[in-house]
Structure 1
Amino acid sequence: MLSFGAAALSAFVLGAGLVQADGPVHTPRVLVFTGTTGFRHDSIPTAIEVLGQNADRFGISFNFTEDKGAFNDNYLKNFDGLLFVSASGEDVLDQDGQDAFHRYVQSGGHYMGVHCAATALTNSTMFRQTQGGIFNYHPSFQNATFLKLDDNHPSTVNLPKEWRYPEEVYFFANNPRNEKAIVYLTVNESSFNNDGGDGGPNQGSPHPIAWGIESPYSAVPLLAGAPGAGRTFYTGLGHANETWHDEVFIGHIFGGLAWTLDGATTKAYGVGIVGSDLPLKPKPVPVAAPDVNVTNGPAAPSVSNAQPSGSGASLSAPLASALVLGAALIGAIACAL
């Protein structure tokens, strides 16, 4: 569990991360896809629950589905981002769904993949271009030491320099840097026992774990009227249920998602041909500082294929909470001196 000071800093940075774009900002709407035709992770229900519990905190509206039929132009156009959480299987989307996915990113829609998403659509050159890396193998689940390469990126700003915890360390069949990815998180390969394969000679060095891809490299060519291709982000972390209850990991996930959405090529940011029409975020107002150790939150949304909900979380509470937490952090530091 993150310390109070670190949680305050994380909340401040991530709360600010969703208001960087110029012009009006609506509540971003994200479609979370957890469909599987390959290995299915036990942590998927936990991930759905945690994302739902933190939607208000980070000012994002989530819809959840496992229906491959949701991947059509008319449905995807309602979303600012797609989030694959351990979706797996080379055929998890049919060809029509893959084509709609590609057109969506070409239209400025954003994408983020988590953990086993690297095993999805492994035969698709389009998906490799968008996600950056395809799974090769992983050693046994064990402690490993992860190292951040960027102190300022929203996905790593709250991480310690060396973060040791149990994980499936993914090795990749290709180097995401060849897809124009910038790697933000790596792993110390001497910190765990590589008992699963050949060491991933094609993935490049340092060992990629989390990365991002900027427009236009995520999907080309652009569709008519699109201001740019969507930003994309991937992290190999997120195997265990316990991981999804770790505040450090939650900061990593929502930091990556905030950065992705802040590509600002969708209607939530006043531009684009896809995206949210949820209400504008009001100006932040002061609120009481929440207890960062409280684990209960709003009930997790059920997995459904319904049309996007019109209700979205306002950014005012998370941003104001971040400011209050930032002040508390300063006070805590002062008391410690």
Structure 2
Amino acid sequence: MKRFLLACLLLAVTITAPAFAEGQFKVLVVAIPNRYHHDYTVVARPQFERMAQRHGFDMDWAWSNRPFDADLSGYAAIVLLNTAGGDLETTQRKALEAYVRGGGGVVAVHRAMVFDQPGHWPWFEKLVGRAFIIHPIVQTATVRVEDPAFPATFGLPARWIWTDEWYEFGPPLVDGLRTVLSVDERSYDPTRIWPGQVSRGMGAEHPVAWYHHYDGGRVFATALGHTPALYDDALYLEHLYGGLWWAATGKGIEPEPAQEHRARE
């Protein structure tokens, strides 16, 4: 009898164990090294692996664009970690478009916001939300939390000292962009740039992170993350995971009044 009960117990553990091993959602991180962004990958991958363990989600990591040749529907979000739209081939671009239209989430980090060939893929430019123009030399500046109700800011102070490349952008390419973080240009020199280049800054409103709904999916974009050492910073990792969590699940923000009214109906 004891052996029978033990066998039943082992069978129950065998059956139920996979349910506990599965994460709450699955994420694809695509980190394609390039001329100016390659050292970060060595630091970023183990940090993302720890993030997945800490927050209980599954993760696939890719150094190339090959995952876009396969089925993407199993991923709740795709993180373009310094991976730009120009890194994808034509058929792979169509795959990403279909994924987003199916409700998938996208997290665009730093170089992912740079269009290698502006105008060649308008859909992706609108996905990111703003067009990159230029950036000055890396400097320390003050970052301001503009939306304390968005998960990517939950772990951040209202004003945050940060050192990075301060990307400058054009006006919004789509309606509905919601600024999450901005940088105070009075705290650094926007004109400090390499000889032969000109950077003037964006003025009083200089967003560096935002989110929006686009073409059926959710998009979180952050310009922060140039220097490899930044991926060892706990605040930055909280910022990334907050945006990733929302992109993957849509959770963490209060519904708009109109959306809440429709839900009650």
Q: TM-score, normalised by structure 2?
A: 0.77
Task: Identify the residue that residue 136 of structure 2 maps to in structure 1.
Answer: 139
Task: Identify the residue that residue 273 of structure 1 maps to in structure 2.
Answer: none
Q: CA deviation at 1:175?
A: 2.2
Task: Identify the residue that residue 230 of structure 2 maps to in structure 1.
Answer: 243
Encode CA deviations 1:253-295: one digit per residue, 9 max, x unaligned.
Answer: 101111111227xxxxxxxxxxxxxxxxxxxxxxxxxxxxxxx
Whether the 8 Å CA contact 1:146–1:162 is kept in 2: the answer is yes
- For residue 245 of structure 2, what is the amino acid of its counterpart? A
RMSD after superposition: 2.1
Inter-partner Cα distance in structure 1 for 2:23 and 2:44 = 24
Task: Identify the residue that residue 82 of structure 1 maps to in structure 2.
Answer: 78
Task: Identify the residue that residue 256 of structure 1 maps to in structure 2.
Answer: 243
Structure having the larger proportion of residues in helix: 2
Unaligned stretches of 5+ in structure 2?
1-21, 252-265
- For residue 238 of structure 1, what is the amino acid of its counterpart? G
Unaligned stretches of 5+ in structure 1?
1-24, 220-228, 265-337
Whether the 8 Å CA contact 1:41–1:239 is kept in 2: the answer is no
Encode CA deviations 1:222-274: one digit per residue, 9 max, x unaligned.
Answer: xxxxxxx111100011111221111111110101111111227xxxxxxxxxx
For the pair shown, the structure with the greater C-alpha radius of gyration is 2
Task: Identify the residue that residue 61 of structure 2 maps to in structure 1.
Answer: 64
List structure 1 segments (4+ residues) > 6 angstroms apart after TM superposition: none
Task: Identify the residue that residue 199 of structure 2 maps to in structure 1.
Answer: 198
Cα 1:44–1:26 change in 2 (3 A) is: closer
Q: CA deviation at 1:59?
A: 1.9
Structure having the larger proportion of residues in strand: 2
**Partner SS state of residue 175, structure 1:** strand
Encode CA deviations 1:76-124: one digit per residue, 9 max, x unaligned.
Answer: 1221111011114x63101111111111100111100111111256431
Q: How does 1:1-337 map to 2 (within 5 A)?
A: 27-36=24-33, 39-72=36-69, 74-88=70-84, 91-120=86-115, 122=118, 123-172=120-169, 174-176=170-172, 178-194=174-190, 195-196=192-193, 197-199=198-200, 206-214=205-213, 218-219=214-215, 229-263=216-250
**Partner SS state of residue 178, structure 1:** coil
**Partner SS state of residue 144, structure 2:** strand
Inter-partner Cα distance in structure 2 for 1:110 and 1:65 = 17
Encode CA deviations 1:52-83: one digit per residue, 9 max, x unaligned.
Answer: 111121122110112323213x4212211110
Inter-partner Cα distance in structure 2 for 1:157 and 1:177 = 27
Task: Identify the residue that residue 226 of structure 1 maps to in structure 2.
Answer: none
**Partner SS state of residue 198, structure 1:** coil
Cα 1:133–1:48 change in 2 (3 A) is: farther
